[in-house]
Amino acid sequence: MEIVQSVANRVTDNVRQVIVGKDNEVRMTLLAMLCGGHLLIEDVPGVGKTMLARALALSIGCSFRRIQFTPDMLPTDVTGVNIYNQKTQEFEFRPGPIFAQIVLTDEINRATPKTQSALLEAMEERQVTVDGVTYVTPNPFLVLATQNPIEYEGTFPLPEAQVDRFMLRIHLGYPSKQNEVDVLSRQSDHHPIRDVNQVISADELLAAQQEIRTVYVDDLVKSYIVDIVNTTRDHPDIYLGASPRGSLALFHTARAWAAMNGRDYVVPDDVKYLAESTLAHRLIVSPSARIKNVSARQVIEDALRHTPVPGARARVR
């Protein structure tokens, strides 16, 4: 697992120049990329969501595009459009910003459902179909989406089909006092994003993704993952539980997390650590439970508490 550890450490150290005091969140962002998944960052404005995406793209040397979602955006503003060329008398495809290796969809919940749905095919199948012609997205491909959880005016909640396509959801949160003082000091002369250089290549990232697929997951751990997901489906406070895509997300992220920590096998603690980030955003709490202030996070904690952890098997003599 040396390749994965090397990639993770170099990128984390590089992004740390810009994102102060959020090492775990940086590693979770890199975790999504190592798994080939997508990431939803849900937090208030000004905590560094955009800078995190830019620093990650610069560290890996990937192409980066930002899409600022607004209510008047059209699906073609995301995917691209065919334009008639008078010289050649043929239609030419002008690719949209979705054709980048790292795509930041800023304030994704400000776009209408029709525009939001333009991302569905790209996120799941790594391709975009325009006027009956299919175009493949570049590899690696990562969608980083941000949304403000406290602003509802002029927003359109993400449909469950789209939320389910995000492998992980994280929150950056406000920095501590000392970290915020450090941010002020670092930006006294210039923005530290200027000092971020490429530390790995896209080929190294793809090699790390291949190595993660060799991480061993015991059948007991696989059963443990499915039991946790099934608990969310049967929980009395849940209207809609996690889907099989949630089980796969927990499975893949657990393998990547084990590799990032130098192991070629997954332990139950990896699953428990990643359960909230991979499953909580997929759950719909029932109306009666919302009245009691029950959150998806509490349901995940309850599921982990009541799901038996696989351990040593008893020997029969």
Say what the pLDDT of residue 46 is: 82
Q: Where are the domains positioned within the chain?
A: 2-210, 215-306
CATH topology of domain 215-306: Helicase, Ruva Protein; domain 3 (1.10.8)
Taking only the tens of pLDDT, the chain with its 317 residues reads 788 999 999 999 999 889 988 889 999 999 999 998 999 998 888 888 888 888 888 898 888 899 999 899 999 999 999 998 888 888 899 999 999 998 999 888 888 888 988 899 999 999 999 888 999 999 889 999 988 776 666 678 888 888 899 999 998 888 899 999 998 998 888 888 888 899 998 889 999 999 999 999 999 999 999 999 999 999 999 999 999 999 999 999 999 999 999 999 999 999 999 999 999 999 999 999 989 899 999 999 999 999 999 874 544 44
Q: What predicted TM-score, i.e. pTM, was given to this entire model? A: 0.89
What was the pLDDT predicted at 315?
Answer: 44
Q: Which CATH superfamily is domain 2-210 in?
A: P-loop containing nucleotide triphosphate hydrolases (3.40.50.300)
- Per-residue model confidence (pLDDT) at position 32: 93
- pLDDT score of 207: 92
At 87 the pLDDT is: 85
Q: Which two tokens stand for residue 278?
A: 């991979």
Residue 317 has what pLDDT? 46
